[in-house]
Amino acid sequence: MTRFGTEVKFTLPADQVDAGREAFGLDGDDAQERVIWFFERLDDEGDPWLLGHHMILRLRADAADEDDVDVTVKLRPAREERLTGRWRPGTEHRGDYKVEIDWAREKVLAASVEADRDEQAGELLDRPRKEVFTAEQQDFLRRCGPGLEQPLRHLRAAGPIAALRWKDLAVGPVGDVRAEQWTWGDGKTFLELSVRCPDDDEAAKQRELLAAELDRHGLRLDDAGMTKTEAVLRDLL
């Protein structure tokens, strides 16, 4: 997996969010405000069904512009041997398709297809789920996904999640850092810091520097045994 770019991620839990924002000067007035929904359902054991098959479906809207809406399908972990044909790694230059390593607790290969939509979020939320995602996105899921039968049926909209996003931050010696805070339900929240790197060596270096900067500010990382997406889905569903 060394030939892929890597996104290094650290997550601060709810009780560290205010301190993290203060440490890095994250003013709400400087953030892009977005609203997020996921499409998911629970299986017979009460667990997120699609997520259990490594599939994530997301709708996102700009809070200030009702017409700025995008939808994303993601496989995480993705199986590299299924990324073939038009979806083979190296075709990401198309702009809407991305293959990279997600490095939070461990390195995981992720592949995703994003698409802008002309309809507003409320209109898409009311439509059959198969009409929310583009034909290209559905082709990606069929060819590269886990082979689920009719994965877009009977899905609930999990949301809304209020998101604040800051880009191009300098966190100590680390540049081009992104920060994103999610808030949902009765005020549950977290703050994620991330930085994209072109290769493994750079990712390891930036991860060490970013971790040291967090430690310098006395910030404690989230020690939950699940991803932020799983935590949100379990709460909202």
Cα Rg of the chain (Å, integer): 18
Residue 78, number of CB atoms within 10 A of its CB: 23
Average pLDDT for the chain: 93
pLDDT in tens, 157-197: 999 999 999 999 999 999 999 999 999 999 999 999 999 99
In percent, the amount of the chain with pLDDT more than 70 equals 97
Domain edges within the chain: 6-236
**Across residues 148-154, what is the average pLDDT?**
91
6-236 CATH, one of 3.40.50.300, 2.40.320.10, 1.10.40.50, 3.90.1170.40: 2.40.320.10
Please tell me the predicted confidence (pLDDT) of residue 228: 84
Cα–chain-centroid distance for residue 174?
21
Examine the pLDDT at 210 and tell me if it is beyond 70. Answer: yes
Can you spell out the DSSP letters for 151-211? TTTT-EEEEEEEEEEEEEEEETTEEEEEEEEEEETTTEEEEEEEEEESSHHHHHHHHHHHH
The whole-number pLDDT of residue 112 equals 96
Please say whether the beta carbons of 63 and 37 come within 8 A: no
DSSP 28-54: GGGSEEEEEEEEE-B-TTSSBHHHHTT
Q: What is the pLDDT of residue 1?
A: 46
